[in-house]
Structure 1
Amino acid sequence: MNAEVHNLKPQKNNGVKAVINLVVLGLVVVILGMNSFATVQYGHVGLYKTFGKLSDNVLAPGVHVRIPFVQTVIQVNTQVTKSEADTSASSKDLQPVSTHVAVNYSVNKEAVYHLMNNIGGAYDSIIIAPAIQEIVKEVTAKYPAEDLIAKRDVVANEVSDLLTKRLAKYDLIVNDINIVNFKFSDAFNQSIEAKQVAQQQALKAENDLKRVEIEAKQKVAQAQAEAESLKLKKQEITPDLVQLKQIEVQEKALEKWDGRLPSVTGGATPFIEVDSFINK
């Protein structure tokens, strides 16, 4: 009996060991399987990295096979990305200017290997931000402070052209650039405000002067028109017209006369010529 029990224990132990071995083997297979594939996300490309060495084989978005624990896949974003930078500089007339610039850029898919192999993943802080600051300072120094405000589009285009050429060396594409804000000293802002007020006052005075000149011209034109009208009326007056008006006045006087002669008191009755009175 004891011999049988002794024989069963080794068999039981062997069975447990077999199960453990199967479980371990299964786990190894699962781990190897999980590490045998890598996924490149949409909007990215991938590069194999084998024992620290990059491969120039660019991987498109999707699932790719890799050697477990030997190879990794580095993903590089190729979508449009924004980089912002603040720059302090001086204008041509030595006014201090603080500029906030936003640049939209993207990575050239075909040159991802050169970018990652030569610069690495921190290309934003290593290449883009310093380039923005340097170029903005260079362009800002070419313009007086007031022109930086009035010609913002021209300044932005010049910055964009220079930055595009600079970043092209590193296979980076400039898609768009915006000068978000120019900030000047308080003294300069006050001088600009005072100048604008003076310009507005000068414009108002000029408009008032023009209005006065127009009104004076209108009065002259009106006086000339009235003089011309009087002149025409005088030209219309003839001796016949004067005689006709006299007759009209006499007729109106006769219509109002009641037929009585004027009476005189306190003395002799004067001799009145009736025909003369009638004519009057």
Structure 2
Amino acid sequence: MKNNKLIISGLILVVVIVLFIFSGTTVASGYRGVLLQLGAVKPTILTEGFHFKIPFIQNVEQVEVRVQKEESSQTAASKDLQMVTANVAVNYSVDPGAVNKLYQEIGPDYRVRIVDPAIAESLKAVTAQYTAEELISKRPEVSAQVKDMLAKKLTKYYMILEDINIKEFAFSEEFNKAIELKQTAEQNALKAQRDLERIKIEAQQQITQAGAEAEALRLKKQEVTPELIQLKQIEVQEKALEKWDGRLPSVTGGATPFIDLGGVEKK
């Protein structure tokens, strides 16, 4: 009898230990626990740390609520029917207060079923509103619209969009060549326009300079009077007298040079 009691006590102890082990669960940091009772989702959400549950009747599924990153390459068509490939990086998280609803309505594979399709659909809907060139020049505006649309889609499924980054838009080789040719033509046109403006400015400067010289010549002509001419003649004669040594040249070659001494005496 004593041995039987010891065996029964040992069995009871083992059962107690097993029940204790299976009645406890730990929710990891950055997760929330979805409590399932015989497969049914309960409204209780378990936070981080240790919790008790009914052994063999209740179990806990953990759902990550930290920020997660989804990066993918998406292909879409622009407004002018150019095929564009975009590398999109999305940061999102699960609403901690709705992990039970997410698990019940979508399941643990919410990334494949919701996030990836929502990214592709949002990007295609927005890029269809812009031409290929606008997608390049208005990337911040495009990103903002994609973010707004994607946020609304994820919110419906108990997820929160943290941020989105469209890293680059890639186009076909033909389109890239067309853009390069267009840029070259625009640069040549700009250079030609600048050269034309420079030529116009130089021509205007020459016209202005010629006008100034003509005006200066006209003013000089207005300053030439009979009195000024006579004064200049007297100055020339005076300089000639200052240099004359009083002797006439031995060879005159015809007529003797005439010097008007009357003008000197009058002076």
Give the CA deviation at 1:159.
2.0
TM-score by length of 1: 0.79
Change (3 A) 1:271 1:220: closer
**Which residue does the alignment assign to 2:117?**
130
Give the 5 Å matches for 1:25-64. Answer: 32-64=19-51
Give the CA deviation at 1:56.
1.4
Does residue 84 of the first structure (1) align with residue 75 of the second (2)?
Answer: no
Paired residue total: 264
**Which residue does the alignment assign to 2:94?**
107
What is the distance in 1 between the residues matched to 2:226 and 2:41? 120
One-letter code aligned to 2:204? K
Change (3 A) 1:215 1:28: farther
User: Conserved in 2, the CA contact under 8 Å of 1:92 and 1:145?
Assistant: yes
TM-score by length of 2: 0.82
**Which residue does the alignment assign to 1:272?**
256
User: Conserved in 1, the CA contact under 8 Å of 2:237 and 2:259?
Assistant: no
Larger Rg: 1
Q: Equivalent of 2:134, from 140, 147, 154?
A: 147
Give the CA deviation at 1:170.
1.0
Give the 5 Å matches for 1:1-280. Answer: 32-264=19-251, 272=256, 275-276=259-260
Give the CA deviation at 1:193.
0.9
Give the CA deviation at 1:42.
3.2
Give the CA deviation at 1:29.
5.2
* Stretch of structure 1 that moved more, 235-244 or 46-55: 235-244
What is the distance in 2 between the residues matched to 1:72 and 1:125? 24
* Stretch of structure 1 that moved more, 41-50 or 115-124: 41-50
Unmatched 5+ stretches in structure 2: none
Change (3 A) 1:275 1:182: closer
What is the distance in 2 between the residues matched to 1:196 and 1:130? 36
